[in-house]
Amino acid sequence: MTTELREFLRIPYAELEELNLEAKAQRLARVPMHQLQEARLKYLTDEKRIKAVTVLFSDLEGRLHMLDYDKKFLLKSYDNLTFDGSSIRGFTAQRESDLRLGIDWSAFYWAPADVFGPGKVLVFGEVMERDGRPYVADTRSILKGFAQRMFEEKGYTMNAANEIEGFLFKGLNAEREYHKTGQFEFVNTGGYYHSLPGDPLRQFIDTVAEVQRAMGFQNEKDHPEVAPSQFEINYSYTEVVAAADTIQLYKLICRQVAALQGLTASFLPKPVVGVNGSGMHTNISVSQNGVNLFWDANGEENLSEFAWNFVDRILTHANDICLLLNASVNAYRRLDPHFEAPNQIIASPVDRGSMVRIPIGNARSARIEVRSVGPDANPYLVMYSLFRTGLEGSISNEPGLRQAKRFLPDNIYDAIDNFCAAQWSSVLLGDDVKARYADLKRAAADRCPRLLGTFVKGPEVQYHHEVYNQYLWNLF
């Protein structure tokens, strides 16, 4: 169909980067929401080439959902958007299906037209009850509320950046087809840092990096990873809610770019047995009035007492929150000690088998790296559970907590049992949302073989929360 009569918005990449960096700066400066709303509504009104606004939100398991609202409709009804929550796993029951969708005007993005389509802008939404209160199972609102409370009560800004690994496989919808074929096909077997400039993996990485840069990610480095067809594309630190939003955009961009190239970007933690799995190493710190509270030039490993207490709380509650950090049957294949698996509940500057690593840092960059997180985990629950545990959890009196040889679970059923038995998980989520989350995880696990064995089984991919479709789920 011809497009010559259409005059929808297409912005050059350099201009996109300027727009997105400006919006990011406003967000980090905490410009009042009413000012941002006024500015964004004016922009949408004045820019005639925009046809739709894509509103993004995530379900309880972290699966990203998108609704396109016609721009003219949204301008009239942005304060009265509703959707059917009963269609979202982990949200409302059918008898109470209607939920509201608010707009977080601080989380506004301009996207490349050649990847997302012309005439569209993106914005993150906030799921709300019928009366306008934050919805109890909207994990983004849970994280945002905690971050705001910490800032208001203690002046803390929680910062994070993630190193998210993934695989690039041949063919469209490779994950959904896996139960038919029982295998994934690599596009590249070069390995760590090694990929010729023109091969499919390098072209994919280059394209994703360009899109990220245009969307204000502020890239740092990108490269093929250790396993065949594996990639990692790093970007800069930012405030915690923005960091979690960025994870969702990163995975969306990767999947879209791969699809446009006839390939599949997968964030299964261990899609292929026998090679390294994928992680989402989560680097975190806390600042106050611009000062990094994790730094102490005279502290052990140059970390402050504040930071070590943060680490000790995470180690104390490691098994309580493991299900939030490793959220699928497949995730427990990655916690295999033969492939540098971060399954030891210890903290170390050098041991890559430790759950928590202490990277080399300075007054600006001092941080801790939580290595046990899977790339398929709900980023809002990851950030919330780590920061709230680190700041408000308890510290065990067990001697040698940071070096004791304890291990994370090697299967999802043990992780579910630990999660359900823990009082701390009830403090984090409340009994209602905790039960919903555990039920979702148990339902997926029960569709898969209880023992992992040495081969990835079709059901652990087919019924994965980022892969399943409603038709196949209901056929079980």
Which pTM does this prediction carry? Answer: 0.95
Long-range contacts, stretch 83-92, CB < 8 angstroms, 24+ apart: 85/127, 85/135, 88/59, 89/59, 89/60, 89/61, 89/63, 89/440, 89/465, 90/59, 90/60, 90/61, 90/137, 90/436, 90/437, 90/440, 91/59, 91/60, 91/127, 91/135, 91/137
68 and 188, same domain (yes or no): no
Question: Is 188 or 191 the better-scoring residue by pLDDT?
Answer: 188
Position 29 confidence tier, pLDDT thresholds 50, 70, 90:
very high
Question: Could you tell me the residue range of the domain that residue 256 belongs to?
Answer: 156-475
The Cα 324–Cα 428 span in angstroms is 11
Mean pLDDT of 434-449: 95
Helix (H) or strand (E) holding 435: helix 423-445
Q: Which amino acid is at 7?
A: E
Q: Which two tokens stand for residue 242?
A: 């923005």
Number of structural domains (the chain) is: 2
226 and 361, same domain (yes or no): yes
Looking at residue 34, which CATH number applies to its domain? 3.10.20.70
| 401 lies in some domain | yes
Mean pLDDT of 190-207: 76
Mean pLDDT of 190-214: 82
Could you list the beta-strand ranges (E) of 120-262: 120-128, 156-170, 219-224, 230-235, 238-239
Q: Which of 19-23, 43-47, 85-89, 391-395 has the lowest mean pLDDT?
A: 85-89
123 and 162, same domain (yes or no): no
355 and 442, same domain (yes or no): yes
Tens digit of each residue's pLDDT (9 = 90 or more) over 258-269: 999 999 999 999
The Cα 179–Cα 319 span in angstroms is 31
Phi, psi of 429 (to 5 degrees): -115, -15
114 and 242, same domain (yes or no): no
Mean pLDDT of 146-170: 97
Report yes or no: 58 and 380 within 8 Å, Cβ to Cβ: yes
Tens digit of each residue's pLDDT (9 = 90 or more) over 96-137: 678 999 999 999 999 999 999 999 999 999 999 888 899 999
- What percent of the chain lies above the pLDDT cut of 70? 95
What was the pLDDT predicted at 197?
Answer: 67
| 143 lies in some domain | no
323 and 460, same domain (yes or no): yes
83 and 171, same domain (yes or no): no
272 and 404, same domain (yes or no): yes
| 266 lies in some domain | yes
- Distant-in-sequence, close-in-space partners of 3: CB < 8 Å, separation ≥ 6: none
319 and 427, same domain (yes or no): yes
| 184 lies in some domain | yes
Mean pLDDT of 406-423: 96
Whether the predicted pLDDT of 3 surpasses 70: no
Sign of the C-alpha dihedral computed for residues 312, 389, 281 and 169 taken in this order: positive
Compute the radius of gyration of the chain from its Cα atoms. Answer: 22
263 and 404, same domain (yes or no): yes
What was the pLDDT predicted at 4?
Answer: 66
